[in-house]
Structure 1
């Protein structure tokens, strides 16, 4: 298989950015296939830290990169991100970046609606308030403005009218001022030339790349447990985050995604609201958050932390067809005398080996733990499996047994080169 798809196998924030950056060396093209600028990847290269929200991680390596049709794009944010990365020495040109011309746009009115709904909600979802959900709603409702529309004033005017026919009553109901169609048109026309410079039929480019035998790296955002169909609904994102979306969200056929690499943190974290069976509110939880520097890349929100949940990851392995995992942040567990792994759930007197779909059942989960010996030695920066303490090796092997997937890569620090390659996904 020439291609590799990288997805988060938990609730996101697993360290995908570093792994995608590391794998970009072996890829010819990097593709982002879902989500919006509500997701973020942090890349640490030497003394420089790059924070990306929309741009595929391959741009830092100078690899041709594609923002696929499955992504909803805030064009103002995209241009600002290009500017900021440019200030760090990475020039983003139309030769380097392709924006799918059939991708849907996020407008300021989407952000307004997102924030107003969240503020008014009794049971908050915990969105980033960046307009992602409302933009996907308009996409499904067949009233979205797409990148290609920026080149056609007549079509743009008609689409704005159709869009406002839906949004105006919503804004009134939420006490928001009515949106000005003329202002929206003027704002979009002002940035259209800059955005359209990157616009191309991405599916066609990728078809040529795949047929020529080049390697494509598909980069997911968030995590499988935030998938709108398969996650902890309704506390999920608004797109499909599972590996199957790599095909639909980029325009390649179903065979395109290739080897599926699931990124898995050596413990569990979550940002925002929703069930979290292994969450820790004690000193261990604080340790994980502090040592792991668990703050959201985009929002800066503190992440909730807990023990490794093998039940959830095993479910992700099945949902995504994961061939192998990249285990990250093993070094955060250094020094903990005893570790726990969740191996099952007690729910209403029953023992389950999967996450139930019902809200009440999810909220009533009591985790069943297996204890395993910790290690005193440091694993930080290890670049060989032989360099790991015996107890750390045992922990990794036990995770493999419980989730039903082998560890292909092991990350031992945020640095790009602190990665133990056990199986090259591009050669699998």
Structure 2
């Protein structure tokens, strides 16, 4: 199970690709998020793809993708992603895809409403990706029996009714939406249903018994819907919880290794707390440019306080993957990358009960005022991170390709947890 212990963008995609390149993986299971994910994988021959809904192991022949019911599925974006994969040498991505019929659909109406709300916030934007994922989740919570779901793509009359009700409700609330008529959307969803294997929740239990599976998380624990720093969060559970629930349903609770991914620079795309932010750091990330919805990609020194909090709310890990170690040589171009073990007057962020958003908002306000205490750059980053966070570094990444990885997970089979 691969989860980001920061604000996202730590390198989950490249880690998942490495796992699929070095062991016989049957399926990559996506268990949260939706089309707003952006997991970059670069092959040794230079081919590159930003994985949004397909699993980041798709470059590896035979590795399947399963979108579990916790994923918000955007069929239109998924087909466009499959087209790009075909252009870079993977023509069978859709053939290796299964989708749980219970998963919510993200539609053009959700996307238009998401963007309208974010624009209306003005200077108080939350940093949404503008793809309608949170809007789809909110609508599903408000109207659970009427929210469009993947299985509805096989029932045109039901889908028409649900899309029409969705459009009408959002239009009544927000005014005219920049989205196509329902009749124009239906053929695309029907084509999706004909092309993709839509399954029930029992499919995953079979896949888990057929071979090794990698559970690929989206976004980061510090953006978690319940434990993140409200309101700069996602409408998704970004911890291991969904993956653990899926394993428990299959009778395999506790059998997966928990891997937390961190980069040596603590980063954030868009607004919200980033206590160790330092605009003078000489880093850029060409895969994460400034965009009109999320805003600027921000860099900070390694924030052990925030990452310890992520470990606490995620329930701990069996090991860590430490990425972007190739960036540390750039220190000579500007101030050295340092490590923050505590904030002024604050050594640890205590986790609270899930769902107490008032508490999380108060924590956010405190973090926006917090000042980091920076220690000198370590000479051995992996050893220092191990000591500071109390978890072993099992994988290090010194570049974007699988060949640029090192450590126990880079070329051996994952051992199951002792409880397995």
Matched, 1:313 2:307: yes
Q: Measure, in 2, the Cα distance between the counterparts of 1:260 and 1:317.
A: 11
Q: What is the number of residues matched between the two proteins? A: 391
Q: Measure, in 2, the Cα distance between the counterparts of 1:362 and 1:89.
A: 45
Q: For residue 28 of structure 1, give the secondary structure of its aligned residue in structure 2.
A: strand
Q: Measure, in 2, the Cα distance between the counterparts of 1:195 and 1:226.
A: 32
In structure 1, the partner of 2:212 is 215
Q: Measure, in 1, the Cα distance between the counterparts of 2:93 and 2:193.
A: 11
In structure 2, the partner of 1:35 is 33
Q: Does the 8 Å contact 2:76/2:188 carry over to 1?
A: no
Counterpart of 1:263 (choices 249, 261, 276) is 261
Deviation string for 1:80-137 (max 9, x for gaps)?
Answer: 1111111111023554111221111111111111111111114110111111111111
In structure 1, the partner of 2:171 is 168
In structure 1, the partner of 2:415 is 427
CA shift, 1:267, in A, is 1.5
For the aligned residues, what is the CA RMSD? 2.5
Q: Measure, in 2, the Cα distance between the counterparts of 1:207 and 1:242.
A: 21
Matched, 1:396 2:395: no
CA shift, 1:167, in A, is 1.5
CA shift, 1:152, in A, is 1.4
Q: Does the 8 Å contact 1:244/1:254 carry over to 2?
A: no
Give matches, 1:277-292, under 5 Å: 277-282=275-280, 285=281, 287-289=282-284, 292=285
Q: Measure, in 1, the Cα distance between the counterparts of 2:368 and 2:290.
A: 27
Q: For residue 104 of structure 1, give the secondary structure of its aligned residue in structure 2.
A: coil
Deviation string for 1:45-95 (max 9, x for gaps)?
Answer: 122111221111122112011112111111111111111111111023554
- Decide which moves more: 295-304 or 89-98: 295-304
Deviation string for 1:122-169 (max 9, x for gaps)?
Answer: 411011111111111112221320111111133223323432453232
Q: For residue 275 of structure 1, give the secondary structure of its aligned residue in structure 2.
A: coil
Matched, 1:90 2:94: no
Q: Does the 8 Å contact 2:113/2:177 carry over to 1?
A: no
Q: Measure, in 2, the Cα distance between the counterparts of 1:308 and 1:179.
A: 42
Q: Does the 8 Å contact 1:311/1:355 carry over to 2?
A: no
In structure 2, the partner of 1:103 is 103
Give matches, 1:177-326, under 5 Å: 177=177, 183-201=181-199, 203-212=201-210, 214-248=211-245, 252=250, 255=253, 258-282=256-280, 285=281, 287-289=282-284, 292-293=285-286, 295-296=288-289, 302-320=296-314, 321-326=316-321
Deviation string for 1:352-386 (max 9, x for gaps)?
Answer: 3116831321211111222235xxxxxxxxxxxxx
Q: Measure, in 2, the Cα distance between the counterparts of 1:179 and 1:71.
A: 22
Q: Does the 8 Å contact 2:266/2:303 carry over to 1?
A: yes
Counterpart of 1:352 (choices 347, 356, 359) is 347
5+ residue gaps in structure 2? 352-359
Q: For residue 305 of structure 1, give the secondary structure of its aligned residue in structure 2.
A: strand
CA shift, 1:335, in A, is 5.0
Give matches, 1:112-131, under 5 Å: 112-122=112-122, 123-131=124-132
5+ residue gaps in structure 1? 374-390
Q: Does the 8 Å contact 1:228/1:236 carry over to 2?
A: yes
Change over 3 Å in CA distance of 1:179–1:9 after alignment to 2: closer
* TM-score normalised by the chain length of structure 2: 0.86
Give matches, 1:358-369, under 5 Å: 358=362, 359-369=364-374
CA shift, 1:249, in A, is 6.6
Change over 3 Å in CA distance of 1:319–1:185 after alignment to 2: same
- Decide which moves more: 410-419 or 87-96: 87-96
Q: For residue 140 of structure 1, give the secondary structure of its aligned residue in structure 2.
A: helix
Q: Measure, in 1, the Cα distance between the counterparts of 2:7 and 2:178.
A: 36
In structure 1, the partner of 2:153 is 150
Q: Measure, in 1, the Cα distance between the counterparts of 2:295 and 2:413.
A: 32
Q: Does the 8 Å contact 1:110/1:131 carry over to 2?
A: yes
In structure 1, the partner of 2:355 is none
Q: Does the 8 Å contact 2:58/2:93 carry over to 1?
A: no
Q: For residue 99 of structure 2, give the secondary structure of its aligned residue in structure 1.
A: strand
Q: For residue 53 of structure 2, give the secondary structure of its aligned residue in structure 1.
A: coil
In structure 2, the partner of 1:371 is 376
* TM-score normalised by the chain length of structure 1: 0.85
Q: Measure, in 2, the Cα distance between the counterparts of 1:167 and 1:249.
A: 32
